[in-house]
Amino acid sequence: MKKIITLILLSQFALMFAQKPAKIYLEQKKDTVGYYVDNTEIYPISISFPQQPEVENMRIPEPFKLIQVIPAKSIKYRITYFVVNDKTKGWKIKKMPNYYTMIGDATVKTYDSNYQYALPFQKGKSFNVYQGYNGTFSHQNENSLDFVMPEGTEITAAREGKVIDAVQTNNKGCPTISCANLANYISILHSDGTIAQYYHLKQNGVKVKIGDTVQKGNPIGISGNTGWTNGPHLHFVCYLPDFTSPKQQKSIKTLFKTGDGSKSEYLTEKKTYAKEYQD
């Protein structure tokens, strides 16, 4: 008779946006023990193990990968299994390492660096980039952009993708890091594995639902002043998941179409950009 033992190991850390920890469990059948994971989310989840498992009188038929990607909506995805060498002797799994999880595919190293993003607001508007890449207020070692804009400004998708997370219940903002977890935001997963986030939205200012597919230029939210902020603005960042980074993400520079849309450029701090094109 098949014997099933279930273990739930909690994630050691969380990203800035909500995430359910992956559920890892083992299943033993005769002389074989398999470890599996369920990912019920609509996005892939990456799992990182700091070291190899330790076993006694067992072998690992397949190389154990320290970073593994669990596809979206996958049940009983096998991450490893062990087989007893000598059935006449005792055997055991001496140590199955703890693990870390993050949203997205952490094995992606290349992305579409030539993609031309649309400015994240409506045609006919123009806004100043108050803080640019590696800004001194809150963008140290981060490729993020802060567009100064009045509360209530309509935010549009800079690129097509799937909405994987959104928060809109917060109503507080302040200029210190103590408010960092109080920002309303939207996270959108792109086809090349990058993830864009739109921060500091107004309370109840999210116009999309988790699971929605949005097109470039679609209205997605309303700007606000929630979270770690010293004034109303939109914080935009695009990143790849990265276990080696202190923030668990590698933020990237993105090309934006500006003016009439005939050229694209990297946006710079203290410069105002107008959008005179329709997405």
Residues 151, 53 share a domain: no
Between the alpha carbon of residue 101 and those of residues 47, 114, 135, 185, the distances in Å are 5, 29, 28, 21
Model pTM?
Answer: 0.87
**Contact (CB, 8 A) for 225 and 232:** yes
**Contact (CB, 8 A) for 142 and 247:** yes
* Element at 129 (helix H, strand E): strand 126-131
Judge whether 108 lies within some domain.
Answer: no
Residue type, 68: Q
Q: Which of 50, 82, 85 is nearest to 65 (CA)?
A: 50
Residues 126, 66 share a domain: no
Neighbouring CB atoms inside 10 A of 167's CB total 20
Judge whether 240 lies within some domain.
Answer: yes
| pLDDT (tens digit per residue) in 105-141 | 999 999 999 999 999 999 999 999 987 786 565 555 7
| pLDDT (tens digit per residue) in 201-254 | 999 999 999 999 999 999 999 999 999 888 999 999 999 999 988 778 899 999
Residues 162, 139 share a domain: yes
Of 50, 69, 103, which residue sits at a domain end?
103
Residues contacting residue 73 through CB under 8 Å, at least 6 positions apart:
39, 40, 41, 42
Of 78, 103, 128, which residue sits at a domain end?
103
Between the alpha carbon of residue 255 and those of residues 130, 206, 223, 263, 265, the distances in Å are 18, 25, 22, 10, 5
Beta bridge partners of 228: 174
- The CATH number assigned to the domain holding 224 equals 2.70.70.10
Residues 204, 98 share a domain: no
Residues 171, 127 share a domain: yes
Residues 137, 96 share a domain: no
Residues 231, 128 share a domain: yes
Residues 229, 160 share a domain: yes
Residues 83, 217 share a domain: no
Backbone CA torsion sign across 188, 189, 191, 196: positive
Residues 211, 178 share a domain: yes
DSSP secondary structure, 157-192, as one string: -SS-EEEEEEE-----EESSGGGGGG-EEEEEE-TT
**Contact (CB, 8 A) for 71 and 39:** yes
Number of separate helices (H) and strands (E) present in the chain? 0, 26
Who wins on pLDDT, 235 or 5? 235
Judge whether 12 lies within some domain.
Answer: no
Residues 135, 87 share a domain: no
For the chain, give the mean pLDDT: 88
Q: Binning pLDDT at 50, 70 and 90, where does residue 11 land?
A: very low
Judge whether 6 lies within some domain.
Answer: no
| pLDDT (tens digit per residue) in 47-83 | 999 999 999 999 999 999 999 999 999 999 999 999 9
How many structural domains is the chain composed of?
2
Judge whether 17 lies within some domain.
Answer: no
The domain of 212 spans 117-275
pLDDT higher than threshold 80 for residue 3: no
Residues 123, 261 share a domain: yes
Of 45, 69, 103, which residue sits at a domain end?
103
Give the per-residue pLDDT at 7. 26
**Contact (CB, 8 A) for 260 and 220:** no
Residue 179 gets the label, from left (phi > 0), alpha (psi -120 to 50) or beta, of alpha
pLDDT higher than threshold 60 for residue 5: no
